[in-house]
Amino acid sequence: MITGRIFWFLESATIAIVVALIVLMLIRLIVDGMDLNPFGATHRTVRRLSDPFVVPVRGFLRHFFADPKYAPIIVIVIIILSGLLLINLLGTLSQLVLGIAWALRTGSLPALLGFIFHGLISIYILMMFVRVIFQMAMVSYMNPVMRFLYNTTEPLLGPLRKRIPPVGRWDISPIVAFILLWLLQAAISATLLRGTRGALL
């Protein structure tokens, strides 16, 4: 099916980009460790390609009085996490599109509603996860992505936060939200999507 091939291509492209960026960061670590001539062609090329990723992380590390030389390692971790999130999102969208197409083809209204709700909840869970990561990284509300994530997820997290006391300094309302949404997905799978899993394999 052409839709499956499109998502396969997007996932493959994502993996290729993640691997390329990780290799770039490893080269940056090697070049910095070798203490090459900063005006040499190799050093300048590596810095020009990697600075857009490394410089913001260096500023973040300095804010916490950490050694900025570890910035490429932090960037590698961020790249891996971002790649996993994107692949997860693509997989969710793939299942959503394929599920809706199957439900329309078979004329099953419960399955159609089930795939839509299940897919949207998966996307919402990913948005909450990204928001938590952004908050840990102290991304400002002025950032348009952070503002979108906050405005979208706060209607659920806000009421939970008011009813669930923090554990020490930690706000555990996102964990409770994740559990509630996973339980809702399980209920959808057991009712509206019952018997459809084998049809999409």
> What string of pLDDT tens digits covers the 201 residues of the chain?
677 788 888 889 999 999 999 999 999 888 877 766 667 777 788 888 888 888 888 877 777 677 778 888 888 998 898 888 888 888 888 888 888 888 888 888 988 999 999 989 988 998 998 888 888 777 788 889 899 999 999 999 999 988 888 777 778 888 899 999 999 999 998 898 887 755 554
Residue 144's alpha-carbon distances to 57, 120, 177, in angstroms, are 19, 21, 23
Q: For residues 28 and 58, state if they share a domain.
A: yes
Q: For residues 26 and 95, state if they share a domain.
A: yes
Q: For residues 88 and 139, state if they share a domain.
A: no
Token pair in block for residue 93: 């969208």
> What is the signed CA dihedral for 146, 151, 153, 155, rounded to 10 degrees?
160
Q: For residues 117 and 190, state if they share a domain.
A: yes
What residue type is 115 in one-letter code? F
> In the 8-state DSSP scheme, what is residue 164?
S
Token pair in block for residue 4: 């499956």
What residue type is 108 in one-letter code? S
Q: For residues 116 and 97, state if they share a domain.
A: no
Tell which residue, 138, 158, 14, has the closest CA to residue 64. 138
Enclosing domain of residue 187: 108-201
Q: For residues 177 and 188, state if they share a domain.
A: yes
Q: For residues 99 and 116, state if they share a domain.
A: no
Q: For residues 89 and 185, state if they share a domain.
A: no
Alpha helix positions (H), 140-172: 144-163
Domain boundary among 107, 142, 173: 107
Domain count, the chain: 2
Write down the residue that tokens 């300048």 correspond to.
44
Domain boundary among 107, 128, 147: 107
Question: What is the model's pTM?
Answer: 0.71
Q: For residues 78 and 27, state if they share a domain.
A: yes
- The confidence score (pLDDT) of residue 78 equals 86
Token pair in block for residue 175: 């964990």
- The confidence score (pLDDT) of residue 40 equals 74
Q: For residues 43 and 103, state if they share a domain.
A: yes
